[in-house]
Structure 1
Amino acid sequence: MSRDWHDWYRGYDDPSSSLSRRLETVRACLESLLRSADRPLRLLSLCAGDGRDTLPVVAATGATVTGVLVELDPVLAGRARAAAPAGLEVRTADAGTAASYAGGVPADVLLACGVFGNVSDDDVARTVTALPSLLAPGGCVIWTRGRRVPQDPSTHAGDPAELVRSLFADAGFEEVSYVADESGFRVGVHEWPGPTRTPPAEGRLFSFV
């Protein structure tokens, strides 16, 4: 599945679009986590794009946040880097490889938005299984999935977001919240109770298809 990500991002220009509503939902989830914290947090964002789901929220809350945003596209990564405050590093790198997170884990908040709808079911399972090695005890994952997307890579018979939820449950995560919008997007927040597992030094978690 080949996609022009710059063209895809134009969906954000329409405030009534499903993509824009998903963005607002993700931002609200992140804001809730940041405002409820009573200490500095470490953030890790996979396939972070231009950082529009994270950077405005960090700025608005005034939370003390350090961490890493990983984005492969150099143009999108450059936009994020230009907007990122001190303490948030933007890496132009492949978020599908564990080596791209070196020095950025364990995270208190991890965003996996726009990932699970672009990879195989096996890669979703591999990634969810690896997440406890990237999270601090009590760390939360914010993730997204469409009910169905064009050329959907999932072979799951039902709503593929339900498969994602079951994988998180099987891995020992606790569900904090789940939004299933009538337009088709889903946004979940899952908490890892701990302990942190040994992070993989290298290896591939997922590849876009």
Structure 2
Amino acid sequence: MDWSTWHDQYDSADSWMARRLRTVQAQIHAALSKAPAGGLKVISICAGEGRDLLDVLADHPRSDDVQARLVELDPRNTAAALERIGRAGLCQVEVVTGDAALIDQYEDVAPADLVLVCGVFGNITEADIERTIGACSQLCKTGGTIIWTRHRAAPDRVPLICEWFDAQGFELQWLSPVDAGFGVGVHRFVGTPQPLRRGTRLFEFVGYDVLRQTAAAETLGRSNPTPQNQCEP
């Protein structure tokens, strides 16, 4: 998967990706507007080109309050994000070209008022989704907001993701309807932030294309089991 050209789908206004982006942007705008007065810290994991956050900050009345760190591995995406930042004059936004799965990347920003985990949960294993959610108490401050996305293709794991967040002290604030064609969730952290544990790896970014191929192969294997010899060798 080319994660730079993948962003081109956002430019088609009627695509599900464009509709999801607008939904995420609306929730980011609302979260920033509702946040307490004063400085705000924002973390974006696997930020891509940063369209979700940067396009909101470009004209949000609280943009000057925001200190943000976007972490993205693909240098083409971070270059596009830096261009966006330059056009909007968002000098308080930092872009890091690096492995977003390493929790050390967020040490100077966590715990944050807003954490974005968009475009991640559909590209990692379920075990890593649960592990990442378990670490979110190290990234989010009490009263802070997490916005996340996940496709709703079968098996739909959005309800399970909500359960995992609930178990970690996050209250569901908003969830996109089932028929939206995508999943966007907003949770508020009501627990106590935990110390950031350096060296923690949150996930391995597999890619939804690889995950789907693996799932299809497993399904085929279950429907066509290998014949077993019933005799002793």
Work out whether the TM-score is over 0.5: yes
Provide the secondary structure at the position in 2 that maps to 1:9: helix
Of residues 175, 186, 193, the one that matches 1:178 is 175
Provide the secondary structure at the position in 2 that maps to 1:53: helix
Deviations 1:92-151 (A, max 9, x none): 011111122121211100000000000001000000000001111111100000012xxx
Residue 39 of structure 1, CA deviation? 2.4
Of residues 12, 24, 27, the one that matches 1:26 is 24
Residue 7 of structure 1, CA deviation? 2.7
* CA distance in 2: counterparts of 1:204 and 1:41, whole angstroms: 25
1:55-134 equivalences in 2 (<5 Å): 55-63=54-62, 64-84=65-85, 85-134=90-139
Structure 1: 4+ residue segments shifted above 6 A? none
Whichever of the two has the greater Rg, that structure is 2
Identity of aligned residues (%): 40
Provide the secondary structure at the position in 1 that maps to 2:204: coil
1:192-203 equivalences in 2 (<5 Å): 192-203=189-200
Residue 40 of structure 1, CA deviation? 2.0
* CA distance in 2: counterparts of 1:61 and 1:39, whole angstroms: 15
Q: Which has the higher helix share?
A: 2
* CA distance in 2: counterparts of 1:36 and 1:173, whole angstroms: 17
Query: 2:43 is matched by which residue type in structure 1?
Result: L
Of residues 3, 6, 19, the one that matches 2:4 is 6
Corresponding residue for 2:158?
161
Corresponding residue for 2:215?
none
Confirm or deny: 8 A CA contact 2:42 2:69 kept in the other structure.
Answer: yes
What are the ranges of 5 or more consecutive residues in structure 1 without an aligned counterpart? 149-156
Residue 27 of structure 1, CA deviation? 0.2
How many residues were matched structurally? 199
- Is residue 2:49 matched to residue 1:44? no
Provide the secondary structure at the position in 2 that maps to 1:126: helix
Residue 74 of structure 1, CA deviation? 0.2
Q: TM-score, normalised by structure 1?
A: 0.91
Corresponding residue for 2:151?
146
Of residues 198, 204, 207, the one that matches 2:204 is 207
Superposed CA RMSD: 1.3
Deviations 1:42-78 (A, max 9, x none): 0000010111000111122121100200010001111
Query: 1:182 is matched by which residue type in structure 2?
Result: D
Q: TM-score, normalised by structure 2?
A: 0.82
